[in-house]
Amino acid sequence: MATIKKEAVSKINLGLGTGRRKTAVARVYLREGNGQIIVNGKDVNEYFSNPLYVFMVRQPLDVTDNVTKYNLVINVSGGGPSGQAGACRHGVARALVAEDETNRPVLHANGFMTRDSRMVERKKFGQKGARRKFQFSKR
């Protein structure tokens, strides 16, 4: 019975954050812990094979000196690896601000609170791509 209570304590979310980039959406749950990051049920190093994406996810924690203070549980969907890593970074920053408002100036100065609103331009009809046209023939 004591283990059930211990599990319930570890499931308490200190902060929630939703991050978005391109077509990716990440829900970040901030919990007390030792610095473990789980993305879609896997360790962050296992989920993002590129170390650059792992670095991107950890950036808000590094800037605020909270690397070993919290555990993160992240559910991310949509987009590719780059968009998902950016969405995770945005979500982690928002979760840290939800937990402690004093983190906002540092995170905002580094650009982690701003949503990167660049999206893929849609393909237009009568064209080969978003901007690329079919080859013009004079005769």
Q: In whole angstroms, give the CA distance from residue 122 to residue 60.
A: 32
pTM of this prediction? Answer: 0.86
Q: How many CB atoms lie within 10 A of CB 112?
A: 25
Counted domains in the chain: 1
Q: pLDDT tens across 80-119, in order?
A: 999 999 999 999 999 999 999 999 999 999 999 999 999 9
120 domain-assigned? no
Q: pLDDT tens across 124-137, in order?
A: 999 999 999 999 98
Q: What is the CATH number of the domain that holds 28?
A: 3.30.230.10
* Residue 54: domain span: 10-109
pLDDT at residue 31, rounded to an integer = 93
pLDDT > 60? residue 8: no
DSSP, residue by residue, 66-88: -TTTEEEEEEEESS-HHHHHHHH
pLDDT at residue 4, rounded to an integer = 47
Q: In whole angstroms, give the CA distance from residue 40 to residue 134.
A: 42
pLDDT > 50? residue 59: yes
